[in-house]
Amino acid sequence: MTELPARRLLLVHAHPDDESINNGATMAAYSAQGAHVTLVTCTLGERGEVIPPGLAHLSGAALGEYRLGELTEAMRALGVDDFRLLGGPGRYCDSGMMGLPDNDDPHCFWQADVDEAAGYLLDVIREVRPQVLVTYDENGGYGHPDHIQAHRVAMRAAELAAEAGVPIEKVYWNRVPRSVGEQAFDRLRDALPDLPFTKTAVLDDVPGVVDDERITTVVDGTAHTAAKLAAMAAHATQIEVSGEYFVLSNELAQPVFTTEYYELVRGERSGTPETDLFAGIGDPR
Ligand SMILES: [Zn+2]
């Protein structure tokens, strides 16, 4: 096996686009610093709503294939070479929004056996030996079944990795501090007349918002703003970007966060706040 860089970061996400929205600046920053960044995406987002009218004919497997192309382009923008689909492309499909009959599709990720899915992730962990894992909180940030399941699978894989002798030293959940979110929405409301969007979302629509005191770690990715915006724009079926704002298919404008925030949930905190996901991690294995 070729020698991997000393610092190795693993991110687990539900659909293509989640990585760029949540962690695009972090991924670009660590990649630029020479860390090995691995993205594992659990589904191809086959049940996503398509924004551009010219692509509205895409659905199901055809949409999944198209979104894999968008993901590839987004990873090029972020400088990330190592991105994979959990269990291989098409192993798990998108479960759709919570409460829909789609949730009962036997191939969907919501129906996955958590240990089996975590086993696929453990294979990646054995290969890459990441010191740091990033995923969602127990509510998946906002309650989408695939996001909740991604959380469960990532946390289970972290347990299995410890048992298997390839422990992950630090586990983080994606967060947005409430005060930062409020300020960003204030700026968005001021900017709205100059944007091609008509309405704003509300802070409660943003995944992972918590009280500021829960934030342990702040990654300043502002130097990588252009890369993050390009990665988000690459997911054109799902996201429309204008300046440092964007909409999803609900057409409600949201701010792009280029400083990204985390809550450390496993491992030793090193700094108040930490400014590096690898803070305190000793000599690389
Ligand atoms: Zn998603």
Distance of alpha carbon 63 from its chain centroid, rounded? 19
From ligand 1's centre to the CA of 170, what distance in Å? 23
From ligand 1's centre to the CA of 275, what distance in Å? 26
Residues 6+ apart with CB under 8 A from 22: 13, 141, 174, 207, 208, 260
From ligand 1's centre to the CA of 50, what distance in Å? 13
From ligand 1's centre to the CA of 18, what distance in Å? 5
Rg (CA), the chain: 18
pLDDT digits (tens, 9 = 90+) for 29-75: 999 999 999 999 999 999 999 999 999 999 999 999 999 999 999 99
Pairing of the two strands 8-13 and 36-41: parallel
Alpha-carbon dihedral 79, 82, 83, 85, rounded to 10 degrees: 170
From ligand 1's centre to the CA of 14, what distance in Å? 5
Question: Across residues 99-123, what is the average pLDDT?
Answer: 97
pLDDT the model gives residue 142: 87
Q: How confident is the model at residue 21 (pLDDT cuts 50, 70, 90)?
A: very high
Give the tokens for residue 143. Answer: 């309650």
From ligand 1's centre to the CA of 142, what distance in Å? 9
From ligand 1's centre to the CA of 271, what distance in Å? 30
**Residue 152 in contact with residue 139, Cβ under 8 Å?**
no
From ligand 1's centre to the CA of 141, what distance in Å? 10
Ligand 1 (ion): which residues have CB within 5 A?
Answer: 14-15, 18
Cα gap 132→158, rounded to integer Å: 10
pLDDT the model gives residue 283: 56
From ligand 1's centre to the CA of 213, what distance in Å? 26
Q: Is 131 left (phi over 0), alpha (psi -120 to 50) or beta?
A: alpha
**Residue 7 in contact with residue 284, Cβ under 8 Å?**
yes
Distance of alpha carbon 11 from its chain centroid, rounded? 7
From ligand 1's centre to the CA of 21, what distance in Å? 9
pLDDT digits (tens, 9 = 90+) for 207-235: 999 999 999 999 999 999 999 999 999 99
pLDDT above 70 covers a percentage of the chain that reads: 98
From ligand 1's centre to the CA of 17, what distance in Å? 7
Q: How confident is the model at residue 114 (pLDDT cuts 50, 70, 90)?
A: very high
From ligand 1's centre to the CA of 73, what distance in Å? 17
From ligand 1's centre to the CA of 208, what distance in Å? 13
Asked if residue 284 has pLDDT above 60, the reply is no
Give the tokens for residue 88. Answer: 């291989």
Instruction: Give the 3-state secondary structure of residue 123.
Output: helix
Residue 258 is given by DSSP the state S
Asked if residue 1 has pLDDT above 70, the reply is no
pLDDT the model gives residue 282: 77
Q: How confident is the model at residue 122 (pLDDT cuts 50, 70, 90)?
A: very high
What are the phi and psi torsion angles at 90 (to 5°)?
85, -5
What are the phi and psi torsion angles at 41 (to 5°)?
-105, 135
